[in-house]
Structure formats: C-alpha cells, structure tokens
Amino acid sequence: MFNPFAYLAARWTPSPRTVQRAALAALVMTVVIVVTGGAVRLTGSGLGCDTWPKCTEDSLITTQAQGIHGAIEFGNRMLTYVVSAAVGWCILAARCAKPWRRSLTKLGWTQFWVVCGNAVLGGITVRTGLNPWSVAGHFLLATALIAVTTVTWQRTREGDGAVRRRVPAPVRKLSWALVAATVVLIAAGTVVTGSGPHAGDSSDVPRMPFDWEGTAHVHAVAAWVVCALGVAMWLVLRVVDAPDDTRARARDLLLVLLAQGAVGYVQFFTQLPEVLVAAHMLGSCLVWIAVLRLVLSLRERPADRAEIPAQGDPALSAA
C-alpha cells in the first residue's frame, strides 16, 4: 500500500534544526490560537458564526450580515488550519528525519488528534450557545496541546538514549507537585472565566453557577501555591547544585509567575478590562510552558546513535 510519508522519507532528509523548528512552530501556533480564541470571547464574537461546521446554515464562510463578529469568529476557525499545517509539518519532519525516531512521530500524531478533538469540541461549544463548561473544556484541551507540543519540542533537542536523572529524587517529586498545582491553577482559572462577565457573546449566555469573586479568590490561592512551589524549586536546585540550564529554567518560571500575578491582580481590581484578560490568557500559556520546561530539564536523554546529516548539508559536501 502506498504510504506518502514513507515515499517522502525516502527522498528528503531534514536536518535536526529543521525538525526542531517544525516542533517549535507547532508550539508557537498553539499559543497563538489560544490567544486569538480569547480575543473571540473578549470581543463578544463567540457566536459570530452561529453554527458549525458551517458559519451559517447556508454559507461555509462568514457573510456581510454577520459583520465584524462573524469575521473574527471565522478568522479564528481558519487559524485552526494554520495550526494543523504546523502540526503536519512537525509530523512530516519527524517521519523523514534519519534515523527515524518513532517517539517523535507518535508525539506529532498525538498533536494531530488533540487538534481534531478540540475542533469538534469547539463546534459543540458553538452549537450549545457557548455553554461555559464546554468553553472550559475547549481551553483545557488547548492546554493539553501546549503540553504535547512543548514535550515534542524538547524531545527534538535530545536523543532516544536511556533517561539520566540530573537531580535527586526528592527534587523530582517536588517538580511533580509543581505540575499538579499548576494544573489546578489553570482549571480554577477556567471556572473564574466561566463565572465572570466575559461570556463571549452579547446575547444572554449562561454562566457557571458560582460567585465570581469567590472563585477568583480560590484561583489566587492556587496561584500563591504555585509561586511558593516555584520559589522552593529555585532554592532547592541551588542547594543540590543542579546544572546551570535547569536553574535558568527555574529563574524563568519565577519571572513569568511574577508578571502573570501582577496582571492577574490588576485585572481583578480594574473590573477585567479586555486587554488585560487577553494578556492573562497569554501568561497562562507561558506559565504552563515554563513549568514543563523546568520539569523536562531535570533529566536528559543523550543520543544513542549518530544522526544522518540532512540531504544537501554542507558537512556532506566537505566530506
């Protein structure tokens, strides 16, 4: 049976840098679509296209009658294809690389299926009139995609050899506590969003049955727990004399947390201005990436065999 990936792999060998760039592109585009998805909600354009998969019952694309809200919502839908293209490039580059690393290809296909699942969930969100629980699930699945793309990007920069631990076991356990607390923080943030005033459309959209200020305080407590664990990680890594790059990841996390916390408190006391809410959504993505990068830096996987240079690589010409 004809396999297009095997066919291309026999004729093209991307360089390791190309594979890394493909993985990074998928990660960047995932963050972009999260932020633009937030822009759809913050501009009240969530039902700009009032059905799915079409934009209207009679049109695949937005119509003039739907105005700017239709254009914003439809534009975000089209961005899904850009994300899919970035994920496709990641899969193709991983499959064509020599030697073929099946682990990278599997991670790429995992990205693809998460994108498909989130597209369907987005359609359900529209068809249910922006049900806040569906909206929360839509964001959480996007967060899962960020996790997969971050891991993929890291794996392109290391080999498939046996994992080597770079810090003692108690430090690794502390890092997993940090991951768990961050997941709780992000989930609590979706509840704040689902209970808050930015429903995503100017019509009467149902909200989660929680007091918005109360949920915001719970979210803040979770944020302080994450900050405390981040500081603890930074201190412990210095005590155990962890590698410089690992300590740098802990420093980066603290900086991102500081900025995100500042934005969070300012938006709370200024009645959630749209610009700050969008910045907070971007910050949520960056916090999650920073946490994952820190955890991934606690171990290393050396290459267990030599890489085959890319076709057209200068090293080949010099040989």
Would residue 246 count as lying in a domain? yes
Domain boundary among 160, 182, 212: 160
Q: Which of 74-83, 236-245, 277-286, 298-307 has the lowest mean pLDDT?
A: 298-307
User: Is the same domain home to 150 and 203?
Assistant: no
User: Is the same domain home to 153 and 23?
Assistant: yes
Would residue 138 count as lying in a domain? yes
User: Is the same domain home to 68 and 122?
Assistant: yes
Would residue 84 count as lying in a domain? yes
User: Is the same domain home to 74 and 202?
Assistant: no
User: Is the same domain home to 275 and 255?
Assistant: yes
Q: Is the pLDDT of residue 310 over 80?
A: no
Q: Residue 207: what pLDDT?
A: 86
- In sequence order, what are the beta bridge partners of 300? 164
User: Is the same domain home to 141 and 74?
Assistant: yes
Contacts with 230 (C-beta within 8 Å, 6 or more apart), sequence order: 178, 250, 253, 254, 257
User: Is the same domain home to 14 and 156?
Assistant: yes
pTM of the model: 0.90
> Which residue from 84, 102, 82 is spatially nearest to 94, judged by alpha carbons?
102
Would residue 252 count as lying in a domain? yes
Domain boundary among 160, 192, 216: 160
Q: Residue 18: what pLDDT?
A: 95
- Residue 215 CA to residue 47 CA, distance in Å, equals 26
pLDDT confidence band for 315 (50 / 70 / 90): very low
Task: List phi, psi (to 5°) of 274.
Answer: -60, -40
User: Is the same domain home to 136 and 174?
Assistant: no
- Residue 107 CA to residue 172 CA, distance in Å, equals 23
pLDDT digits (tens, 9 = 90+) for 171-228: 999 999 999 999 999 999 999 888 888 777 766 788 898 888 899 899 999 999 999 9
Sign of the torsion angle spanned by Cα atoms 28, 111, 193, 259: negative
> What residue numbers bound the domain in which 148 lies?
9-160
Distance, first Cα to last Cα, the chain: 37
User: Is the same domain home to 169 and 210?
Assistant: yes
User: Is the same domain home to 16 and 126?
Assistant: yes
User: Is the same domain home to 151 and 273?
Assistant: no
Q: Is there a contact between 291 and 234 (Cβ–Cβ < 8 Å)?
A: no
Residue burial 60-88, b: 16+ Cβ < 10 Å; e: rest: eebeeebeebbbbbbebbeebeebbebbb
